[in-house]
């Protein structure tokens, strides 16, 4: 299985809602990533997990809360988001020693 | 921070022509990668070139790297409509556990 899956594909939420994005891979990769991508812009790194531990937080606001329950699963918990947080959220994974990243299809998030 | 600059920002060519995209970066790198993204979808890894390599080929793709100029180019030969996508370079900075993406080139192949 060489696929990274993300659910849901689309999400619309209000500013007071709590929701979660889910990412899963079964390639045995030990590094997993969350990116945010606005239209016509490159992906911006948010978080990196290495061996299930948070290793990089790119100064992301606390309304975004990542979680890595096990080596195959990565969640992003969302709470009290702002309309400017609307974007495509991409998950990726990689073998710890190799730079190539495998991306999921993304979750299109709209905050009303 | 996004250190890569890509040009052109957008490129439109006829099917069958070659497409060339350029990427510049600012710091020392371990390697440079190119990714493709179809509209609103995830990125797909195309090719990786290491800092000690100057040129690499994969099918219709040719990548060059000039570390003295801190620049790379991606050539797609005999373009097809299916090549229509955004193309991003990404650098793996020395000592950093992350990729930094360029601004991207939006490529349109006209039938």
> What would you measure as the largest C-alpha separation in chain B, in angstroms?
44
pLDDT digits (tens, 9 = 90+) for A45-88: 999 999 999 999 999 999 999 999 999 999 999 999 999 999 99
Residue of B nearest to A39 (CA): B40
Pairs of residues, one from chain A and one from chain B, whose beta carbons lie less than 8 Å apart:
56
Cβ pair B4:A108 closer than 8 A: no
Q: What is the pLDDT of residues B56-111, one digit of tens each?
A: 999 999 999 999 999 999 999 999 999 999 999 999 876 667 899 999 999 999 99
Residue A27 has pLDDT above 70, yes or no: yes
Q: Is B15 on the interface with A (CB under 8 A)?
A: no
Of B2, B43, B92, the CB nearest to A103: B43
Chain B: closest CA distance from residue A44 (Å) = 8
Decide if A42 and B101 are in contact by the 8 Å CB cutoff: yes
Sequential DSSP letters for A11-65: EEE-TT-EEEEEEEE-S---EEEEEEE-TTS--EEEEEEETTEEEEE-S--TTEE
Is residue B7 over pLDDT 90?
no
């Amino acid at each position: 299985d060489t696929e990274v899956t993300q659910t849901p594909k689309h999400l619309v939420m209000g500013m007071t809602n709590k929701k979660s994005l889910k990412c899963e891979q079964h390639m045995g990769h030990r590094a997993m990533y969350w990116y945010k991508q606005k239209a016509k812009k490159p992906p911006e790194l948010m978080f990196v997990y290495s061996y299930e531990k948070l290793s990089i937080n790119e100064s992301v606001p606390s309304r975004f809360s990542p979680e890595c329950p096990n080596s195959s699963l990565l969640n992003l918990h969302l709470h009290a988001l702002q309309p400017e947080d609307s974007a495509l959220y991409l998950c990726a994974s990689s073998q710890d020693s190799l730079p190539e990243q495998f991306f999921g299809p993304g979750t299109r998030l709209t905050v009303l | 921070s996004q250190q890569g600059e890509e040009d052109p920002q957008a490129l439109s060519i006829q099917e069958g022509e070659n497409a060339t995209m350029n990427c510049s970066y600012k710091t020392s790198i371990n390697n440079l990668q190119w990714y493709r993204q179809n509209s609103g979808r995830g990125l797909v890894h195309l090719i990786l070139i290491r800092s000690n390599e100057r040129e690499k080929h994969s099918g219709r793709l040719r990548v060059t790297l000039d570390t003295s100029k801190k620049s790379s180019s991606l050539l797609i030969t005999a373009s097809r409509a299916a090549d229509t996508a955004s193309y991003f370079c990404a650098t793996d900075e020395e000592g950093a556990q992350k990729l930094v993406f360029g601004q991207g080139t939006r490529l349109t192949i006209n039938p």
